[in-house]
Amino acid sequence: MIRSFNGKTPKIHETAFISETAYVVGDVTIGKNSGIWPGAVVRADFGPIVIGENTMVEDNSVVHSGNSMDIGSNIIIGHGVVVHGRKIGDNTLIGNNATILDDAEIGVNCIVGAGSLVRQGMKIPDSSFVVGIPAEIKKQNSTKTSEYFKAGISVYQDLMKQYKAEGL
């Protein structure tokens, strides 16, 4: 479901996929070849949310912020994730059931482990692997990290084509 709120209507690229059971409302921009999967909510009622190209918001995740939010390109936001942060850099994976609290910023080429809690206002540097409650930086990612994400995104883009072909 795609809805306007407070005079703002989501802007969705023609190649993006929005599941019929997803909810996208307000000042949202969704880029080329991105996907919002079943049960996901993208709610921009307090500030704009911009989602870049080739970014997947998987099933039952919630993207909502009290301020503006910039979610880059080539990102996978896993199942059941809550994103309240300010920024997620390109080529990043947010693992299933992770929580990113208000005003947190995640750099480029990062991995946030499944079930992790990124604290309010935390700034995660580029190429970091973070995990835990609260999340802590455990190591730096290799340069191969972005290739891994691109392979996962490619699988989702193929799946998007199938969903669209079946009218889902």
User: What is the residue whose two structure tokens read 């809805």?
Assistant: 3
b/e 97-108 (16+ beta carbons within 10 angstroms → b)? ebbbbebbbbbb
Beta bridge partners of residue 94, listed in sequence order: 77, 112
All structural domains of the chain with their residue ranges: 2-165
The secondary element (H helix, E strand) that includes residue 156 is: helix 145-165
Report the distance separating Cα 8 and Cα 106, nearest Å. 27
Region 2-165: CATH code: 2.160.10.10
What pLDDT is stored for residue 91 in this prediction? 93
pTM for the full predicted model: 0.94
What pLDDT is stored for residue 140 in this prediction? 84
The secondary element (H helix, E strand) that includes residue 165 is: helix 145-165
Q: What is the pLDDT along the chain (168 residues), one digit of tens a residue?
A: 999 999 999 999 999 999 999 999 999 999 999 999 999 999 999 999 999 999 999 999 999 988 899 999 999 999 999 999 999 999 999 999 999 999 999 999 999 999 999 999 999 999 999 999 999 999 887 766 667 777 888 899 899 999 988 988
Q: Which of 88, 85, 118, 119 has its CA nearest to residue 103?
A: 85
